Amino acid sequence: MKILVAGSGGQLGRALAATVPAGATLIAQPEAEFDIANPDVVARVVAETGPDLLINAAAWTAVDMAEAEEDAAHRINATAVGFLATAAAKSGTRFVQISTDYVFDGQGHSPYAPATPPAPASAYGRTKLAGEQAAQAHHPAPLIIRTAWVYAAQGNNFVHTMLRLMATRDEVRVVADQIGTPTHAASLARAIWALDGQAGLFHWTDAGVASWYDFAVAIQEEALRLGLLDRCVPIIPIATADYPTPARRPAYSVLDKASSFAITGPARHWRAELIDCLKELQP
């Protein structure tokens, strides 16, 4: 089986490469050679590589910047998805689109099911929802996987930000009233392989629930235990209102994964996955 990954240099793309199933060949096209916003390039790359499966792990993820540059975010998160889905459909290739909890407004109080009507409250969320719709419009049977709070041992993410701040500041202030589930990119990659062959809309995160404050506390505790930090600093819980951002973040974005878990088996708890991630950072 040949697998073409868009966004192969990102944290999910790297995790997909590290977990690729035995007997499969992953085609990681450099971003400079695989401009997903160019329909001619997309059509050519898909025709030349002839993949059995195309996974779109590329996205505009600068959530706050998207508020001022929604058209640019839309080109990557939606228009380009249509190009990828069209090329995959033309070649008879299975297509996987990765989406986000930001398609919901975060005003709920129970886990969001795949069938819950979306109501994005940010430009990023709107463009990612448009990407889902583009996949459905241009491919006969896309697999769309919504996830949340993704991090990895490589890349720019919350774990690396917290480790840097905890090593350089006397205290760290972290939002405590936004609730979701941290998701290790390696766990998400394994779920994508397990769900390959399905069609429709699925949710996947690691198991459990946390606030960003809870996540930060766990990062410090485990990093101290593993020798990645040499001191403990106070972590101060704050409200979203105390840390204003251009984009509105979901207050509650826990996803209902029952339909995914019925196929993949249950996910590991997010803290167990965090430990695995931090172990990768040990010297």
- Catalytic positions: 124
Cα separation, 17 vs 51, whole angstroms: 15
List the beta bridge partners of residue 236.
173
In Å, what is the CA distance from 99 to each residue of 86, 169, 238?
A: 18, 34, 28
